[in-house]
Amino acid sequence: MERTLIIVKPDAVQRGLTGEIIKRFEQRGLKIVGMKLLQVSRELAEKHYDVHRERPFFTSLVEYITSAPVVAVALEGSDAIVAARSTIGATNPSEAAAGTIRGDYALEIGRNLVHGSDSVENGEIEVANFFTEAELCGGWTRDVDGWVFE
Ligand code: IDP
Ligand code: MG
């Protein structure tokens, strides 16, 4: 099973889209193993987006992600990384397919509502950056698992 970190970003929380966004991952079959509302610190934001440190949008990206509370969600599932990113849609919402979260609810790249980890390795790292082991319910058995995972 893979793990991915989803962040319902400040714009999504402010717009009242938290439930709608989490619903889409849940109905896809991905299993919630951690979830919390938090205000991201500058330190955590810079660590999370470290790969983009040299990009021209880095400062505005850190301001954006720290500007209001977010909901961090750790999801587990077979192919969780690719599945979650296909549900999220293309980084630039103007290019995101209809039916994806960004394609249905967003217009601009700097207000694209949701984050999803981009690799199995980063999924593990990002979940550990946002959650302590005690905050995760890693081993819980979901009664429908046999009807979602073969
Ligand atoms: P992703 O969120 O689809 O994985 P990344 O390329 O990893 O996209 O970029 C991280 C985040 O940085 C994006 O979700 C978006 O919020 C922001 N971002 C990326 N490219 C730009 C840009 O060209 N202008 C402004 N913000 C950007
Ligand atoms: Mg990314």
**pLDDT tens digits, residue range 31-57?**
999 999 999 999 999 999 999 999 999
How much distance in Å is there from the Cα of 40 to the middle of ligand 1? 17
Residue 57 Cβ inside 6 Å of ligand 1? The answer reads: yes
Pick the residue whose CA is nearest to atom 14 on ligand 1: 91
Span 100-137, pLDDT tens digits: 999 999 999 999 999 999 999 999 999 999 999 999 99
Mean local confidence (pLDDT), 140-150: 96
Whether 48 sits among the annotated catalytic residues: the reply is no
pLDDT at 112: 99
What residues contact 74, with CB distance under 8 A and at least 6 apart? 3, 4, 5, 6, 32, 33, 34, 35, 127, 130, 131, 136
| Domain map (residue ranges) of the chain | 2-136
- To the nearest whole number, what is the mean pLDDT of the chain? 98
- E strand or H helix at 73, and its extent? strand 70-77
Among the four given CATH numbers 3.30.70.141, 3.40.50.150, 3.30.360.10, 2.60.40.10, the one describing domain 2-136: 3.30.70.141
Q: How far, in Å, CA of 8 to CA of 133, rounded?
A: 21
pTM reported for the whole predicted model: 0.98
CB atoms within 5 A of ion ligand 2 belong to: 118
How much distance in Å is there from the Cα of 39 to the middle of ligand 1? 19
Q: Which of 3, 22, 115, 117 is catalytic?
A: 115
Any bridge partners for residue 36, and if so which?
72
Q: In what order do the strands lie in the sheet with 2-8?
A: 31-38, 70-77, 2-8, 114-116
Residue 9 Cβ inside 6 Å of ligand 1? The answer reads: no
Residue 122 Cβ inside 6 Å of ligand 1? The answer reads: no
